[in-house]
Homo-oligomer: A and B are copies of this chain.
Amino acid sequence: MLNHSEIDSILRALVEPTRRQILERLSRGPATVSQLAEPFGMTFAAVLQHLQALEACGLIRSEKIGRVRTCRIEPGGLAPLADWITERRIPVERHLDRLGEILAETDQSSPKVQDQEKDDQP
């Protein structure tokens, strides 16, 4: 499915553990491509591809000076995903609010709505 929305590309970038580790590393400060590649048992080119994916969706930013490219975190990069999450949460809160209203309207003699257990392993 070619859903090329913004959160789609951010999620596709974040779903890869290596890229999350790169973000982790960059959150402790800027680094060059070779510095980023070194800790991973991985080719230079592979790390570069990860960096391009991260930069394409606005999670990092990079700047080349001379022959050295330095990468750093883009501060607001995770904001679209954070917004998406809060948007998805609001309807649920609304549902809970309506549930609260319903509970308030009905008698207090049936307080077992919170009792539902989640079945862990089917």
Contact = CB atoms under 8 A, between A and B. Distances in A.
Per DSSP, chain A at the interface is: helix
B85 A27 contact: no
A91 B23 CA distance: 11
B17 A91 contact: no
Interface in A13-55: 14-15, 17-18, 23-24, 27-29
Tallying the copies of this chain within the complex gives 2
Nearest to A1: B17
Interface string A50-75: 00000000100101000000000111
Interface of A: 1, 3, 8, 11-12, 14-15, 17-18, 23-24, 27-29, 58, 61, 63, 73-75, 78, 81-82, 85-86, 88-89, 91-92, 95-96, 116, 118
